[in-house]
Amino acid sequence: MLKFLLKRKDPDRLISDSEVPERRMKRSLSAFDLTALGVGATIGAGIFALTGTAAAGQGSGAGGTFIDTPVLNLILQGLTGGAPELGRQGAGPAIVISFLVAALACAFAAICYAELASMIPVSGSAYTYAYATLGEIIAWIIGWDLILEYAVGNIAVATSWSGYFVEFVYNITGIRFPLWLVADIKTASAKLAEGGGGLQMFSSTHLPVFLGHHVALNIPAFAVVAALTGLLIYGIKESATANTVAVIAKVAIVIFFIAFGAYYVRPANWIPFAPNGFLGVMGGAAIVFFAFIGFDAVSTTAEEARNPQRDMPIGMIASLAVTTLLYIGVSMVLTGMLRWSQLNDAAPVAKALREVGGARWAQAFVSAGALAGMTSVLLVFQLGQPRIFMAMARDGLLPQYFAKVHPTFRTPHVTTFWTGVFVAVPALFIDIGSAAELTNIGTLFAFILVCAGVIALRRIDRQRPRPFKTPLVPLVPSIGIILCIVLMFSLPLLTWMRFYGWLRIGLMIYLGFGIMKSVMITGEAARLEARMISAATAARLGLFAVLVDVSIVVLIWALHPDFFHTAEFILFGGILLVSDAVHAWIAVSRRAAPKRESTK
C-alpha cells in the first residue's frame, strides 16, 4: 500500500507533459525578470506591516493564553520548570537577528529549490519536485499546503494593501471613504472602539445594519485582486513588466526610508538589544519569515523562462540576497527611530515617521512604497497559485478543467480566474488576523519537503544531469530542514491546530478524488487497486486521526478550556468531525464496490 501511495512521476515525463502544444506556455522571462519577480513577491506586507509586531510582541503577559504561545516556548519552559510566559514575546531591536535567522533558513531552502528547478523546469514549485522525488501523496499534501502560502497569504496582503491605499489617498488628495466600504467588519469595529484621530480619514463611521448585523466590506481589497487577475490572464510578459516597475519603485522607497530615517535614529532605543532573549528572537523570526515568502514563487514560472536551467537559480538566490540586505537596514533604522515596545502597529514604518515628526510628504512617499510593494506581492502570488493548480490538474489530482491554457494569451486562464475569486471574495470580509502565521507554517513545511527531496533524488537518480548542484548534500539540506522545524515550533499552538485542520481537509479530497483520477493509474486492474488502497488508507488514517483528535481536545481542555466556547473551535471541531465521517464513508463504500461488481 505504501509503495502505491508513494509512486513517483519521472522528471522526463513531467517535462514532456508540459510541452504538449495545447498546454505549452510562452517562454519570455529573463534572469532579470525572474529576479524582479522574486524581489516583487518578497518585499511587501512582511516588511511594511509585520516588522512592528515581531519587534514588540503580541498578547504577552496577562493578555496571553496557552493557545497564543509559541510551541517552542511551552517546550523550553516545561523542561526548565519555570512559570510559562504566555503569548508571543517581542524580539526588540534584536529583530535584526530574527531577520538573519529567517534568511538563513530561506537560503538553505533556496539552494535546494535551485537544484530541483534547474533539473525539472516545470510549473508547480514544491508540488512538482515532491512528485518527482517523494511520491504522489506527499506531492498532494504539498500542493494543498502551498495554497496557504499563495492564496491565503494573498488575502492578508490584499487586506493590508487596502489600509495603506486609504491612508495614501487621504494624505495626497484629502479624499475620504466611508469606513464600511474600505474595511472588514472586525477591523471596522476595532477602529471604532479605538477612536481617536485615525477616524478622520473616513467620511463616515456609521456601519449599516442588515438582518440585525452590522455590515462592512473591504472594496479596495476586492478591487485590486480583481484587477491583477485580469492582468495575469492577459499575459505573463505584461505582468512581469508591471511587476518590474513596481519593484523599482518600492526598492527606491525602501532605500529612501533607510537614508531618511537614519537622521532620526537614537542609539538609546537599541538598549536592551534583546529584551526577551532567545525566545523573543525566535518568535520574531517565525513572524518575519513571512517577509521572505515569495522568492520560491520564481520556481512556478519555470515553463515561461527563456533559459530555466541557468536563470531559475539566479532568480531565486539573487532575490533572496537583495531582500535580506534591505530588511536588515529597515529593521535597524525602525527600532532606532522608535522604542521597540511602541511598534506593535499595522503600519509601523508610517507610525515611526509620524512619531518623530517626519515631513508629511515623506509619510506619503513611504505609503506609496508600501502600496507598490504589496501590489507586486499580490501580482506574483496570484501568478504562482494558478500554475500550481494547473500542474495538479495535469496529473489528474484535480479535474482536467483546471489544466486549460488560453489559446491566445497562453496563460492558465481558468485557474487564474478561480484563484482570483478565491482570494478576492474572502478579502471583502476577512481581517489580516493570523493569516501570516498560517501562511508561514504552510510554507515552512513545503521548504522541509523540498530539502528532503534533494536528498532523496541524489539517491534515487544520481546520474541525472544537474545544471545547478546543491553543495555538501546531505549536510546543506539537513541544516535547512532543522532550521525550518525550529521556526515551525516558534509559531503558536493555535496555528498548529489550524494547519492540522487544513491538512485533514486536503487528505479527505485526495482520498475521495485524486487517488482515483491520477494519471499514474492506467488500466482497470490499477484502478481497482487504487480503490482498495484508498479504502484501506482512509480506514487507517481515520482511526489514527480519531486518536489525534481526542488528544487535541484533551490538551485544549487542560490548557485553555475557554477556547471551547469560541467560533474558531466550533469550526475546527466541525472540520474534524466531517473529515472523520468522510474517511469512514470512503473506507466502507470502496471496499463494498468491488464485491458488488464481482457478483454481477
Do 433 and 518 share a structural domain? no
The cell numbers describing 292, all together, are 521572505
Do 432 and 576 share a structural domain? no
Q: How far apart are CA 147 and CA 377, in angstroms?
A: 15
Q: Name residue 70's beta-bridge partners.
A: 492
CA dihedral 243, 246, 247, 252 (to 10 degrees): 170
Find, among 462, 451, 347, the residue nearest to 45 by Cα.
Answer: 347
The pLDDT assigned to 488 comes to 92
Which residue bears the cell 481497482?
Answer: 528
Do 552 and 464 share a structural domain? no
Please name the helix (run of DSSP H) or strand (run of DSSP E) that holds residue 89, with its range, or none. Answer: strand 88-89
The pLDDT assigned to 551 comes to 86
* 3-class SS letters over 313-336: HHHHHHHHHHHHHHHHHHHHHHHH
Find, among 493, 478, 479, 484, the residue nearest to 444 by Cα.
Answer: 484
Number of domains comprising the chain:
2
Query: Sign of dihedral through CA atoms 179, 180, 181, 186?
Result: positive
Contact by Cβ (8 Å): 308, 49 = no
CA dihedral 223, 226, 230, 232 (to 10 degrees): 110
**Of 489, 509, 536, which one is at a domain's C-terminal end?**
489
Do 449 and 530 share a structural domain? no
Q: How far apart are CA 63 and CA 89, in angstroms?
A: 12
Contact by Cβ (8 Å): 23, 394 = yes
Contact by Cβ (8 Å): 386, 232 = yes
Backbone angles phi, psi at 504, to 5 degrees: -60, -45
- CA 563 → CA 62, 208, 567, distances in Å? 16, 30, 9
Do 366 and 240 share a structural domain? yes
Which residue bears the cell 481526542?
Answer: 550
Per-residue pLDDT tens, the chain, 600 aa: give them: 566 677 777 777 777 766 666 556 566 677 787 787 777 767 776 777 778 778 887 655 445 567 778 888 878 777 776 666 777 788 899 999 999 999 999 889 888 888 887 777 776 667 877 888 788 888 888 888 888 777 888 887 888 788 878 878 887 888 899 998 998 887 788 778 767 666 878 888 888 988 888 889 999 999 999 998 888 887 655 556 666 777 788 788 888 889 999 989 999 999 999 998 888 899 889 888 888 877 766 766 666 677 777 777 788 788 888 888 988 999 999 999 988 888 876 667 877 887 787 667 777 788 787 887 788 778 777 877 887 888 788 888 888 888 888 777 777 888 889 889 988 998 888 776 556 777 888 889 989 988 998 998 888 888 888 877 888 999 999 999 999 999 999 888 888 888 888 888 888 888 888 777 777 776 666 667 777 777 777 777 778 888 888 888 887 787 777 777 777 778 888 888 888 888 788 777 766 655 544 444
The cell numbers describing 564, all together, are 471551547
The cell numbers describing 100, all together, are 538573519
The widest CA-to-CA distance across the chain, in whole angstroms, is: 84
Do 565 and 471 share a structural domain? no
**Of 489, 507, 542, which one is at a domain's C-terminal end?**
489
Do 520 and 410 share a structural domain? no
The parent domain of residue 527 ranges over 493-600
Tell me the H-state helices in 19-147: 31-42, 45, 51-56, 71-80, 95-119, 126-133, 136-147
The cell numbers describing 35, all together, are 529576479
Do 524 and 408 share a structural domain? no
**Of 454, 472, 489, which one is at a domain's C-terminal end?**
489
Mode of pairing for the β-strands spanning 202-204 and 177-178: parallel
Contact by Cβ (8 Å): 491, 441 = yes
Backbone angles phi, psi at 318, to 5 degrees: -65, -40
- Supply the CATH number for residue 145's domain: 1.20.1740.10
Do 245 and 135 share a structural domain? yes
The pLDDT assigned to 113 comes to 83
The cell numbers describing 275, all together, are 529584551
Do 539 and 421 share a structural domain? no
Query: Sign of dihedral through CA atoms 138, 141, 144, 147?
Result: negative
Contact by Cβ (8 Å): 15, 122 = yes
* 3-class SS letters over 272-312: CCCCCHHHHHHHHHHHHHHHHCCHHHHHHHHHHECCHHHHH
**Cβ neighbours of residue 50 under 8 Å, at least 6 residues apart?**
287, 288, 290, 291, 436
Find, among 514, 270, 273, 265, the residue nearest to 396 by Cα.
Answer: 514
The cell numbers describing 509, all together, are 479530497
Burial class (CB in 10 A: 0-12, 13-18, 19+), 554: exposed
Q: Quick one: the chain helix, strand, coil %, rounded to 5?
A: 75, 5, 20
The cell numbers describing 48, all together, are 511594511
Do 142 and 68 share a structural domain? yes
Q: How far apart are CA 490 and CA 255, in angstroms?
A: 30
Do 457 and 516 share a structural domain? no
